[in-house]
Amino acid sequence: MSVELNFGDSLAVLLVDGVEETPYVGATLRMKEAGVEVEVPYMPGFVVPQFDHVAQWFRRMTPPENVLVHTREGNIQLFGCRWNGHADAAGSRVGSGRFSATEALLHDRDGALLEPLTVKTCQSRADGLNRWSRVTAVSSEATRDEERRANALDVRVESPEPIEWRQGDALIRVRATWRFAPREDGYERVHELEDNVVIESEWEQPRPFVDHLVEQRKALHLLVFLFGTALSFREHRVRDESIAARLMGGEIFEHPFVEVISARTIRERAQPIPSKDKLGRPLLVLEELGAEGLAEWASNYDAWERFILPAVSIVGRRHRFAEDIVMSTSMSLEAAGQLLGERPGEAATYHRGRRTTATYVYRCLELLGIRWGDYIHSQVGLAKAIANNYNSVKHADRGSFPDHAETFLIGDVNELVVRLLAVHLTGQADELLGRYREGSELWEIKQRFDAYRIRIADVAGTWQAIPSDAAADGAT
């Protein structure tokens, strides 16, 4: 039987450490924003032999690597346990110690307790998957009478074939799932139907949970770029032959998906869910990317990691300073420019015949071919303005921080550029980037330039105030 845990839950449990002849130990298990934590009371000082082994856990700061937890609802297995602290009271007073788990499997598992958690398949729910994939397992058709009033409703629930692609040795899928749960009390009867999308990873042989998370995170990073907002993992469920549901006689009747709570993603579950407005319009949806685009993104991921990680960390951050945006996105553009190689016209960004930060930024701008309009003089001028702002923020010997309006605008431009570069890495640039070269995102950036009434005026990247009469006429 599976156990359910939610933030704030506290359970009285018994611990089994897997060492022969050591007794079970009473403890309290809590679900916190930092993860699953266990608090163990014990008698220190070897006063009571029952607690000898527990006292050693906390005296040496080495709790058991894996622990079996018995609860009233079922069993939980904790993996990768680590010491969190203890209070070693003297004499007859009770001491207590705390440890937390890297992963908590909310179900029984066959095999030795000391073996690490490995599974073949992992399904994860995350923000944005439903809207980005536009996949559903539910279809319905209403029957109407002669007055066009609905008098019957046929609902069909069936998961369509998943979209799948290879990432190294792993097979990754985007799959629609559904779950039906009738509910009633003395007053009403409700039929609840959940229709959601998961990202699924599968290997031929069981792998550590973190391997599944690494591969799924690559796909979620792409969604962060496409939506331009923070996205979080909300739930993980795993399946393996070692995890079995049994009848009363012990016979296995299925290998279910059961929940894993990971310390690596538990804090994400506590984050606010993005609003519908934030998830309203991704740069591309699943149908436009297809399995080919997702596979291309995955194949480029490792080589482009120095571009992806700084950019996705800032695009996916909820609370940011303008300078943070400039720093992280400019680092990414610098890395991307080095990977792209020489581009036509880049010599205008050289200093004494040598490449500069502006050179690498220019390569990204030239590749995308964005038509900025009159508020940005040229790609060369923009590249130099970005490099100047980045270096002024980064280097203390440059004096004061740049003007805040310039930093805000550079951050806006950089954020759009790194998002479009991420689209480029899917191999879909030629067909799908065109609409963003003169799209609404550019209009929004132009409006910000108009609001601050400044522009990049020349190839040197010089900022210039927009005259009042020009702003009134809509010119830049």
Work out whether the CA dihedral 371, 375, 381, 387 comes out positive or negative. negative
In a domain, 410, yes or no: yes
Residues 210 and 130 in one domain: yes
130: alpha, beta or left? (left if phi > 0; alpha if psi -120 to 50) = alpha
By CB atoms closer than 10 A (0-12, 13-18, 19+), residue 49 is exposed
CB within 8 A of 307, min separation 6: which ones? Answer: 332, 333, 335, 336, 339, 418, 421
- Alpha carbon 450 to chain centroid, angstroms: 34
pLDDT digits 0-9 by tens, 87-108: 876 655 788 899 999 999 999 8
SS3 content of the chain, % helix, strand, coil (to 5): 35, 30, 35
Residues 168 and 213 in one domain: yes
Tens digits of pLDDT across the chain (476 residues):
578 899 999 999 999 988 887 888 999 999 998 889 999 988 776 566 778 888 888 888 889 999 999 999 899 999 999 999 888 766 557 888 999 999 999 998 998 899 999 999 999 999 999 999 999 999 888 888 888 888 888 989 988 899 999 999 999 999 999 998 888 888 999 988 999 999 999 999 999 999 999 999 999 999 999 999 999 999 999 999 998 877 777 777 788 899 999 999 999 998 999 988 888 889 889 999 999 999 999 999 999 999 999 999 999 988 889 999 999 999 999 999 999 999 999 999 999 999 999 999 999 999 998 888 888 989 999 999 999 999 999 998 888 899 999 999 999 999 999 999 999 999 876 666 677 766 666 788 888 898 999 999 999 999 999 877 654 454 43
Domain boundary among 269, 291, 320: 269
Structural domain range at position 358:
303-473
Indicate the helix (H) or strand (E) that contains 173.
strand 170-184
Any idea what the CATH number is for the domain that residue 49 is in? 2.30.110
pLDDT in the model for residue 30: 94
- Range 380-418 burial, b when 16+ CB lie within 10 A, else e: bbbbbbbbbbbebbeeeeeeeebeebbbbbbbbbbbbbb
298: alpha, beta or left? (left if phi > 0; alpha if psi -120 to 50) = alpha
In a domain, 113, yes or no: no
pLDDT digits 0-9 by tens, 311-320: 999 999 888 8
Residues 307 and 379 in one domain: yes
Work out whether the CA dihedral 131, 134, 140, 146 comes out positive or negative. positive
pLDDT digits 0-9 by tens, 238-264: 999 998 877 777 777 788 899 999 999
Residues 220 and 359 in one domain: no
Domain boundary among 269, 292, 319: 269
In a domain, 203, yes or no: yes
User: How many Å apart are CA 375 and CA 413, to the nearest integer?
Assistant: 12
Domain boundary among 46, 77, 105: 105
In a domain, 281, yes or no: no
Residues 17 and 125 in one domain: no
C-alpha distances in angstroms, 100 versus 39, 153, 452? 9, 49, 50
Residues 52 and 171 in one domain: no
In a domain, 298, yes or no: no
Rounded to the nearest 5°, which phi and psi values hold at 416? -65, -40
State the alpha helices, DSSP H only, in 95-235. 129-133, 209-227
Residues 189 and 332 in one domain: no
Residues 413 and 437 in one domain: yes
Q: How many domains does the chain have?
A: 3
In a domain, 294, yes or no: no
Residues 127 and 101 in one domain: no
Residues 101 and 138 in one domain: no
In a domain, 5, yes or no: no
Residues 337 and 457 in one domain: yes
In a domain, 392, yes or no: yes
Residues 318 and 465 in one domain: yes
